[in-house]
Every structure is written in C-alpha cells, then in structure tokens.
Chain A
Amino acid sequence: MTEILDILVSAAFWTAVLRIATPYVLGTLGELLCERAGVLNLGIEGIMTLGAMAGWMAVYQGADLWTGVLFAAFCGALLGLLHAVLTVPLGLSQHVTGIGVTLLGTSLSYFVYRLVLPQASTPPTVTPFQPLDLPGALAQTPLTYLAFALVGLVAYVLYRTPVGLAVRMVGENPAAAEAQGLSVTGVRIGAVMAGSALMALAGAFLTLSAFNAFFFNMVNGRGWICVALVVFASWRPGKALLGALLFAVFDALQLRLQQVAGGVLPYQVFLMMPYLLSILALVLVARRASYPRALMVPYRKGER
C-alpha cells in the first residue's frame, strides 16, 4: 500500500500519466467527433497506425516535425474519407467497414514501411519532439499540450458554433437536420474526416513524441480503448479527457507496480489491470449513457 502512495506522490509518475494519456485524448476526441455525427469509426486502430507511420516517414524523409504531424493528419483524413464514403452515402454497415478500414490502414502502413525500408532490421530513428523546459509534470512535448488544448477546442466547436450544432443534429436526428436545409451527407463526411485526422495525430504522437521510431504493432489496441472511452465519456469532450487520464493513471501505475511487486505476481496480471479497471468503470458509468440517437443508423433521404 505504501508503495502505491509513494508512486502517487512522485512527479515522475504524473509526467508519465500525461504522456500516456495523450494518444488516448486525441483518439477519443476523434472517435467522439465521428460518433457525435452518427458514424461509428472502428477504423481508428488502422488510422492511428497509418498516422504513426506517415508522420514518422515524412520526418525520416527530411520534413520537419510539424510538417510530419500535418501529413499524418492529412493521411488520417483520407482514410476517414474512405470510411465516410462507404458508410454515409453508400450506407454500408459501419462495423464491417470500420474493421475493414483498420485492416487496410494497418497493413498499408506496414507495406509502405517495408517498401521504403526493406532491409532495416533495427528500426531507424528520427529526432522527436522534446519536452518543454518546465518544472515537474509540466515537462511535456508540444503534442501533449496540443492534445489538451484540442479538448477545449472540440468542446467549443460542438457546443458553441453552428457547425458543431449541425454535427450534433445529424447524429441525433438526420431527418430533422435535412428538413432544416442541412446536408446530412456533407456534415457526416466532414465530421468523420476531422475525427480521423485527430486519430492520426494520436498515432503521430507515438512515433514523433513518445518514441522516435515506427514499430509494427506499436498502436497495440489503443484505438479500441478510445472507442470504449467515448462511451465512458457519454460523448462529452470534458469527460473524455477525464477518462483518458483515468486510464493513463491505471497504466502508469501498473508499469511501476510491476517493478515493485514483480517478484510476487506474474507481470501479466499488472498488464491486465488497466483494461479490467476500464471495464469496471464502463459498467458503472456507461449504463446510463445516452447514445446519439442516430449512431450507426445509415440515413437515406426520403425513406420512411
């Protein structure tokens, strides 16, 4: 017990929490944006992988770090466009399409990586974003600050601007949005592309900030956690931040507990802990979550 307390009061622990939370914050915001418009985006895992690869690859080829980040977001938006075109105007199953996009994004990333670097046995590295020179837990890279700023921005856009109202409306009742002269197809495609760009940013954070290279399997299920965090957050950006931080606390804690108590329990038990606690939190919180009413319902004009 005292070990846990020791960990919780150390500044290094909280530095780690904020760093670990960053991709979850970005990914959850992206997924939240898609789902608020009524489109479930299970392509998130593949889009994050593509973002990680594309961002890193751009920098490796000589672009500067911010150009790499923008390029990652652009690639994510493109994959999002694919998902949106299949699910919105064509009305295909969002689950099946999303899984397809994940498989495509992941294998495409590995394929391009191997195409450019066929021989590399140890992954080549780039110089990543450096932590700002600030005291304690504030010593984070710019992407982490960007992620936390985006929480406020997404919340502002959703709740305070006409375009945010349009996004929420097409996710709640597309027929009503259409009757008010909005283009349901246009708004949904836009929201999915923007959301996917955020997911790709989450990926780019991994290769350009948390690490300095691209590995296979480096996204490692973070996308799926984001999908669950959206439900945990009841589709609200503020709660999404909270959820991402909570998960990061569990994750950072298990890493340290492994070191402390590794001799007693097999380390897999600790690896399991954040997921177990997330499921528990989901059960407690999300039972009374109110879904966007039109989530996963394809909209076809003029159908009764």
Chain B
Amino acid sequence: MTVTTSAMPTPVAARADGKAEVVLRLAGITKRFGPLLANDSISLSLRAGEVLALLGENGAGKTTLMNILFGHYVADAGSIEAFGRPLPPGSPRAALQAGIGMVHQHFTLADNLSVLDNVAVGTERLWRPWSDRGTAKRRLLDLAGRFGLGVRPDALVGDLSVGERQRVEILKALFRDARILILDEPTAVLTPQESAGLFETLRKLTADGLAVVFISHKMNEVFAASDTVAVLRAGKLVATHATASTDREKLAELMVGRAVKPPSPAPLAPGEPVLALSAVTVKSDHGRPLLDAVDLTIRRHQVVGIAGVSGNGQTALADLVSGLIHPDAGHAALKGETVDRADPAAMVRRGVARIPEDRHSAGLVGAMAVWENLIAERYRDPAFSRLGVLRRGAARAYAHDVIDAFDVRCPGPDARTQLLSGGNMQKLILGRTLAHGPDLILASQPTRGLDVGAVSYVHGRLLEARAAGAGVLLISEDLDEILALADSIAVIHHGRLTPLLPHDRVSVRQLGLLMAGHWDILPEIVDAA
C-alpha cells in the first residue's frame, strides 16, 4: 500500500469484492477556525459495505471533518457528494435526507423523553394532527431485532446505561434510513464487552450494505473493526491504507509524525516515604466502607499503580490524598507529618500535585482563561497577588512560561480553557501541578480519553517527576498503563487494598483475578516475590 498525499482524491482500498459503489466522496474539504487550519484540503471516498476508520490525534481535525459532512459546520472550500449527488452544505436536515446519520461522541438524546420519542422526533410532518406511535414502535423493534440493538422503546433515556444510549443513537440513524453512518469516538465510553457488541453490530450493518465511518484514536479498535484506515494529522490527510496491510507501529508513527516508543522507566532505588496510609477507613454517608483498613506507603522515586475495576474505592482513595475527605479511622501521613484533617489547599502546600480523574469538572474551569486556571492553586502566593489584588502581569508571564514548557497548544494565556482539546487541557493541568517540583503526584486516570501522542507525553512527564524525586500514586483502569509505568502495583477491590506487588513479579492474569476479588492467590505472589 502506498502513502497518498492529501490533495489527491485517492480511492480507498477496495474491499474483497472490489466492486461496491462509491457512496460518499469528500473533495478538497478545507476549514479554518481563526488562525487554526482544522481541515486542509481533505479528500476521501467511501464505498457501500465499507468501514472506514478515521484515525488521528486529538485536534487533528477528525471531528471537524465529520461535522462538516453532517452539516454542523460549513466548509470554507471543497465539496461533498453523497450517492452521486452534491450535498448542500451546513444543513443536518439535508445530510439526513441524503442518508447520512451521525452518532455524536456526546450523545444527543433527551434524558426525560422515551427511547421511542428520541428516535421518532422530526421523522413525521410537523403539523400532522397525530403521531403514528404504533407504526414507529414496530419499525423501531424491527430494526433493533435485525441489527442486534436491543432496547425498550418506552424506557426513559435517562434510565439507560451508556451502552444502551449508544444503541438508541444508532437506531435513530437507522430509523431515518441512513445508508452512511458516522460514529464519533464510539467506544470512548464503552466497556470492552460493549465495544465488542458494537463491532458486531457494525458487521451486521455493513453486511446490509451500509457504509460506516468511525472516528477513533485507539489502535486496537481500528484493527478490530475497520476495512480501511485514513490517518489525519494536524488537519491534513497523511495516509489511507487497507487496514489489513498495515500495522500498529506504522499507524502510530503516521498519526503522531514520529516513532512512538513505549515508556521504559529506568530502575531507581526507592527513597524515603512521602505518603503513608495506615489502616485508613473511610465510610460513605450511608456507613458503607469506601476504603477498608487501607495500608499504603509510597516512596520517592517510586510509581505505585492502583489497579481495579472502576467503583471499588479508587475515587475515595484519590479524594483522601487530595484532602477532600478525611479518614474515619486510621492515619494518613505526608513526609512523616500527620495530615488526617488537612484540606485540599493544605495538601497542595505540602507538596501534593493532583491530576484529577475528571479534568472538565474537577480539574479546570472551562469558562475561565488559561492563565487563571494555571494560578488556581496558588493565586494567594505573593508572586501572583499583593494586598488582595491579583498581579495579572506576573500571572500572564508565568502562564506563558508554563505554556511553553509543557507544550500546551493554545492561542495564548488569555484563551478560554474550554476551547482546548482534551490533551492540551491535561498538559495544562500537568503544567499547573508539576512546575513546582511536587513530592507526591496523585494521578487519577491521567490519560483517559487522550490520544497516543498525548498519552506518551503524560507518561514521560510522570516518569521525569519520578526521576526528580517525587512519589507517584497512579490510579488507572488501564492495566497496560499501570504495567508500563508502575514500580509496584496494588489491587483495590471493595475498598480493600492488596500489599504492594513488584511489577515484574505479577502477571496480567493474576492481576485480573485479584481485581475480580480472588485474593486467595495472594500468598503465591507474595511468597514468590
């Protein structure tokens, strides 16, 4: 397979039969947002029955391209042809009529309405004096049955799981006879089992002749589900390959623009303890233990990974170390000092750097400027305020330095934070917390939702901080991440924590068993270590 340039409308690799008609053609799509060239003359085509994966880092222009296709944005240049007819720009209605359906990353469903309402809205003439609910319901159930998308038509969307909501979104598109389905990061919110179910559905859809575009930055999905992969980088289409004829390393390199090396932490001798939890118990408001007699010691130059299925006490552990909640029993100590009642500001002063689980709600204030977010933890510092008045010049200059040092891609310190991509938001948080040489880093799901390039950046920074003498508490649901970074691993289950297990003495299978609560295997691991 050859790498093609962006300007040339190259037919994508044909599927096995090679003769399916081209259903969608994008030619020279260009879109600017101010100074940012989000899409640079992108040309693509899609055949019936084909699954095209649109691969690229955050901010590479994938979602912009699909939003243009679906009519949410109007392209500055270029044209779109669906089923041989030109598609009027800027109209979701026209896209729907042309047979294009889109499943947005953030679902566009109304929680207080039923599944049937959500699917049927807008499909009937607006001024019909009554709705034909019976026919709509039968059609919905028929589609659901044909493609294995089980849903209850009368259930409220608000009561559904994330996986079920996604099925409703897909049904919405199918209900309107979509022949081209766009899925924006469909697996970002799904469990591995739900993802497998989704791919199964996609196979049924393409067998029925639908064409699918799915946006992703996860390699394993590209290989699990796509026939063809198109790689976007910085707004340009850098390559289109038949998925079968390429491999992970090559795609990763195309996506990031350079070879991506997995992190390889150099062995370092652990130093003095920075965090010591002894028999810490935290109870919920209902008296249920969130953390149950947890013992944990983290030393300098050490990354401790906490593995576990989500909802087993990870959030409580992170909140405890942040100072948001306090032990009901037992003690927590930071660098030898008891911090049982310290509030978050005190924890920051004592050298705890926090990378919160949810960067949108707990990490950053989206509506505020980058510089304001950067000094949010230390705005009372004499460097940034004097006599209760902010020193804006000093704060902006500081923000400039951090933006440079941490490679935050943004228009400048005054940019509104919510306009940044996920990866750049995370860099902003890293810049805020790591710039001051912390003693302990609390990293909760630090790479959730990030692309390959940003993940490798975050990992690199965490390992740098470890080398500089910080202890790292890495809480992650991504086992690969823990295995790649952690010196020691503890498994959390129902609020209880195993002893630290050296990373090179424990297998994935053993971790899986421990995560499922089979702690009877602990003696064999501990004895072997």
Contact = CB atoms under 8 A, between A and B. Distances in A.
Partners in one complex: yes
A160 B92 contact: no
Contacts of B288: none
Contacts of A19: none
18 contacts: A161-B128, A161-B129, A162-B121, A162-B122, A162-B128, A162-B131, A163-B128, A165-B120, A169-B110, A172-B111, A175-B108, A176-B118, A177-B121, A180-B123, A180-B172, A293-B110, A293-B112, A302-B72
B113 A179 contact: no
A165 B130 contact: no
Contacts of B73: 302
A179 B110 contact: no
A161 to B, nearest CB: 6
Interface in B228-254: none
Interface in A137-180: 160-163, 165-166, 168-169, 172-173, 175-180
Interface of B: 67, 70, 72-73, 92-93, 96-97, 102, 104, 108-113, 117-118, 120-131, 172, 418
B126 A163 contact: yes
Contact of B111 (A160, A165, A293, A302): A293
Given A179-B102, A180-B121, 19 more contacts: A162-B122, A162-B125, A162-B128, A163-B126, A163-B127, A165-B117, A168-B110, A169-B110, A169-B121, A169-B122, A172-B113, A176-B109, A178-B108, A179-B70, A180-B92, A181-B92, A182-B122, A293-B111, A304-B418
Contact of A173 (B110, B122, B129): B110
A30 interface: no
Contacts of B124: 162
Nearest to B104: A179
A139 B483 CA distance: 81
A36 to B, nearest CB: 11
Contacts of A166: 121-122, 126
Interface of A: 160-163, 165-166, 168-169, 172-173, 175-182, 290, 292-293, 301-302, 304
Nearest to A290: B112
Contacts of A175: 108
B127 A172 contact: no
Contacts of A179: 70, 92, 102, 104, 108
Nearest to A173: B110
B110 A181 contact: no
A166 to B, nearest CB: 6
A180 B122 contact: yes
A290 B72 CA distance: 30
B110 A172 contact: yes
Nearest to A190: B126
A304 B421 CA distance: 11
A2 to B, nearest CB: 46
Nearest to A157: B129
B264 to A, nearest CB: 37
B77 to A, nearest CB: 18
A177 B124 CA distance: 13
A182 B118 CA distance: 12
- Of residues B67, B70, B92, B172, which shows the largest number of chain A Cβ atoms within 10 Å of its Cβ? B92
Contacts of A177: 121-122
Given A175-B108, A179-B102, A161 B113 contact: no
Nearest to A187: B126
B108 A176 contact: yes
A40 B172 CA distance: 29
Contacts of A176: 108-110, 118, 121
Contacts of A304: 418
A181 B118 CA distance: 13
Contacts of B117: 165, 168-169
